[in-house]
Amino acid sequence: MDDSSLKICDIAYTRIRKKILDFEYKPGESIIETTLSENLGISRTPIREALRRLEQEGLLENKNGRKRVAIITISDLEQIFELKIAIEGMVMKKCAEMRTEKDIAKLRKIIKTMTDLEIEAKHGFSKELFNKWGEVNSSFHSLTYKIANNARADAIIGNLNVQWHRWRVGITAMEWRLERNIREHIQFCEAIIEGDGIKAFTLMEKHTRDLFNTVVNIIKTFSLD
């Protein structure tokens, strides 16, 4: 596949992926190559490659030779969160064991920013605050993957997050527990600075299990499963 074909494939992948994440294509909905090709104005070969990538990511599934938007059950979520605990917990532990003085300085700056956001969160939720937290949260986790020297963990967790964030309820859960979420991330930073790998792992494990329970409770409350 030449460069131009790869670019077209990337465009197809990005557009289809966005429609899935935006719920334009709903869970369980059939995905047909010819229809996508006509709607997007892209030939079937790059469409086929884009669908293959989305299937590998878990956003699509193949049922009897037909592709459809993946339906995520509570059981699926449980598996996703088990993997997140194992991988993110390992990353936290390695960070505490491998952090340098430069890393500690960066973490202290992140703590300062998180503390400011925590104070802001006490006055109520806002989309602006949630977006600011998203940027800080992303910066923190990017730093942890660098400290732990594990880019593959970053890629795997990114893929897992895409799968469960696709639930509107996933975003709702993070909004509901925003102040608590910020406080827990401050604690992650502090454990890494202290060099306490076991504490860092344990905090991440509890955080992830509590988040999973929040998501499941919301699903059950609104009968979304």
The owner of tokens 């409770």 is 217
Among 57, 72, 46, smallest CA distance to 17 is for 57
In words, the CATH class of domain 3-69 is mainly alpha
- H/E stretch holding 66 reads strand 66-69
Average pLDDT on 195-211 reads 97
How high is the pLDDT of residue 224? 44
What does pLDDT average to over the chain? Answer: 89
Model pLDDT for residues 128-173, shown as the tens digit of each residue: 998 899 999 999 999 999 999 999 999 999 989 888 876 655 566 6
Beta-carbon contacts of 214 under 8 Å, excluding residues fewer than 6 positions away, are 173, 176, 177
CATH 1.10.10.10 fits 74-221, yes or no: no
Domain ranges of the chain: 3-69, 74-221
